[in-house]
Amino acid sequence: MAIVKLQQLAIARSGDKGNISNIGIMARSRTIYLYLCEALTAEVVKAYFKEVAFGTVTRYMLPNLNAFNFVLEDSLGGGGTETLITDAQGKVYGAGLLHLKMDIPSELLDVAYMTES
């Protein structure tokens, strides 16, 4: 096993609407996507964002894109017009999630940066 940051396995993009933020994660290969189906659950993301995500975290799988969309409810302190948070936008959450450290099988390191058709 090896410990890596999610950024070695995937790319991310995130955004927000009101008090809800979403994080899109796209695996760098089909093999990595299949691994993340088991390892990157809604529960893992909720635990990682426990200090800001107070509502439900839902994971949507997009297998044709080797991707996931995570929706984090009640994660922006009420949203831009209601919160006292200095930066009440979810745009940084994707970059933040890429710093999640994960245990992965060592043999997956070889395919982390490979593209598969």
Cα-based distances in Å from 83 to 10, 46, 49, 50, 86: 31, 20, 18, 18, 8
pTM score: 0.85
Q: Which of 56, 62, 50 is nearest to 25 (CA)?
A: 62
Residue 95: how many CB atoms within 10 A of its CB? 13
Residue 90 has what DSSP assignment? G
Rounded to 5 degrees, what are φ and ψ at 4? -135, 160
Q: What is the pLDDT along the chain (117 residues), one digit of tens a residue?
A: 889 999 999 999 998 887 888 999 999 999 999 999 999 999 999 999 998 889 999 999 999 999 999 999 988 765 555 555 555 556 788 999 999 999 999 888 776 655 554
